[in-house]
Amino acid sequence: MPSMNMPKPVDPFFRDAKQYFPVSQYRFSRAGAYLALAIDNVKYGRGTLTLTTCHGKRTHGQSSEGARLYRIFATYNGERVPFATQQTGPAELVLHTRHGDIRFTWATYNRLMAEGDPGMGLEWTRDASMYETVRPRKDGAWESIPQRSNPMCFKGLEGSGFTFKDTWDWHAFSATSIVGYTTPAPDGTFTLAVEEFPYMVKVPNDYVTYAEAKADMLKSWEEFWAAYPKLIEPYAQKAEETAYNLWTMLVGPTDLTPRWMIQMFPGVIVSQWQLVQNAVALQDIPDLARDLLMAPLERQGETGQLADDYDEAHWATGGIKPPIYGWALKNIMARHDLLKEWPREDLEKLYVGAGRWAMWFMECRDDDNDGLPGFDNGAGTGFDEITAYLENGPMATPDLCAYEVLNFEAQGDLAKLLGKPQEEIDGWYKMSKDLLDRMVDKMWIDGHFVCLKQYTHEPVFSTCNIHYIPLILGSRLPQDVLDKLTADLMREDHLLTPYGIASEDIQTDYFEMIGTRMGSGAISPPGEIFILTGLWEGGKKEEAKLIIDRYLGALMQKGFPHYLDPISGDGTFPGGTWCRNCFTTLARMVSEG
């Protein structure tokens, strides 16, 4: 993906328009924004352009419109005209018509700006809900408050204007069909600013020109891109596209979400363990990585449990995902001096919060007190429909024990960094070593890591991937255990496939790739990243590199889908960030050697 702007198309129907970024699979936005422009088809006369939001009140089903706020039409002399869409560079989206162009950029995380050639204009429409209206404000501005969304300010600039039609219906107590449109400046052009407010609109007086807005967006992107890891070929071919995807999916703090977070898909804030994985991928931007690590701790209960996910309107505490702060901190602290890069206050909060989260599993997911924590069902593992849980019920699982070994070790590292008493430091390290010893002693049976049913300790060994997640421990495992796990994993056409590591042995009758099923065969980011980083650290670089090349090669070839079919290599659910942060972390690891 070249960083320069794409050339202007010459074909009369813009069939030769080159895209800087696959915008129809993603959105046009900038870091920090909850708003985005969405286009479902970039071809001439086929695209529906909408302004969308990822605010929780809209995306959690509280509005029948979902994320959509406004539909946007290109006009010429006030009449709608067909257009083709081209993202010409990191800071501009263009609508090409046979009469002229309309350009969009983001002045700030909450202000969209547009400008049009002479005669060109924009029409904005939405179906209003009850109580919804539009109101004129000072200096020619208008306020619109879509149901269950933030207030919006529309204002024409540089001699042009914007107005909404009066469609208020007293009987419906609604503006019914809302229609707004630009009006031209004396030279026939227009410039429009559309801004989101957390409370009702106060018309700004700090508007900049379109060119200044575009320059600000470009500067923000270039600063992010400069901090992204430098990757070797062939990964470098998709580095800029991957960085741009992650940048545009970041959302900034709000009154109810005080840290930066990131979306999994447009409109879906990631779960707590994905936030932590993204922090590893983006660790070279310390302030951002710190927020991504700290964001889950903003919703930590009195018992130490973290919310599975949350945003400003949603807080999920009825489920959990694995605790991986230890894995993340070991990765980040190997490259960064957190005492120099973080405020001590945040380091202390991380130490306490991550420690409480690690201890929650020992206190609340080890009911038989055998010192081996587990999950109640497959959902807790993060892989959902895994065959280890064909019989529903709590089990101690080797994946969770491995995560906890790293959690306690990293807590010891943090305690040492913060100058805690030696007894406290040693206590964490002892917990880590004791759990590893116990795990190997009790769960390594007949050459496999098994699950143990609660109370009965009946061993369960299945054909799913969680029995190999302990490879995350790398060199901490006894050498014979590491060698045997690696050899079993490397058997072709079982878990190892031409496209990566499957979540289920592809030769079993449990294999299924239908819908959103994650644990019955799909190749997914968490199923790769923990095993592969552990293999690499454990000295199994040749084996890890073989799998990494397969998985990352498939991602690049298939357009970065969320899941990969381990048999056909087909991808499903493109447009997300999880595979992008996994790509970043693994490609960086190989690039660094």
User: Residues 544-555, buried b or exposed e (16+ Cβ, 10 A)?
Assistant: bbebbebbbbbb
- The string of DSSP letters for 66-127 reads TTEEEEEEEEETTEE---EEEEEETTEEEEE-SS-EEEEEEEETTEEEEEE-TTEEEEEEEE
**CATH number for the domain running over 35-220:** 2.70.98
- The string of DSSP letters for 439-474 reads HHHHHEETTEE-EEETTT--EE--SBGGGGGGGGGG
Residues 6+ apart with CB under 8 A from 581: 246, 274, 277, 278, 280, 281, 282, 525
Residues 71-105 have pLDDT tens digits of 999 999 999 999 999 999 999 999 999 999 999 99
At 161, is the secondary structure helix, strand, or coil? strand
**pLDDT score of 62:** 53
Cis, peptide link before residue 234, omega less than 30° from 0: yes
Question: What CA–CA distance (Å, rounded) separates 191 from 116?
Answer: 7
**pLDDT score of 65:** 66
At 283, is the secondary structure helix, strand, or coil? coil
Note whether 34 and 55 are within 8 A (CB). yes
**pLDDT score of 1:** 43
Question: What CA–CA distance (Å, rounded) separates 152 from 134?
Answer: 10
**pLDDT score of 131:** 81
Residues 6+ apart with CB under 8 A from 229: 239, 284, 584, 587, 588, 591
What is the reported pTM? 0.96
**pLDDT score of 61:** 57
Q: State whether the Cα torsion 86-87-91-93 is positive or negative.
A: positive
Residues 6+ apart with CB under 8 A from 228: 239, 243, 284, 584
Contacts of residues 116-119 at CB distance under 8 Å and 24 or more positions apart, as own/partner, are: 116/182, 116/189, 116/190, 117/188, 117/189, 118/184, 118/187, 118/188, 118/189, 119/76, 119/77, 119/184, 119/188
Residues 6+ apart with CB under 8 A from 345: none
Residues in the chain with pLDDT values less than 70: 1-4, 58-65
| Residues 23, 27, 28: CA angle, nearest 5 degrees | 85
Residues 6+ apart with CB under 8 A from 334: none
Cβ neighbourhood burial of 501 (10 Å; 0-12, 13-18, 19+): buried
Note whether 207 and 141 are within 8 A (CB). no
**pLDDT score of 516:** 85
**pLDDT score of 60:** 65
**pLDDT score of 122:** 98
Note whether 36 and 55 are within 8 A (CB). no
Note whether 372 and 452 are within 8 A (CB). yes
What ranges do the domains of the chain cover?
35-220, 228-592
CATH architecture assigned to 228-592: Alpha/alpha barrel (1.50)
**What angle in degrees, to the nearest 10, is found between the helix axes of 578-592 and 272-281?**
40
**pLDDT score of 426:** 98
Q: State whether the Cα torsion 377-381-387-388 is positive or negative.
A: negative
DSSP code of 292?
A: H
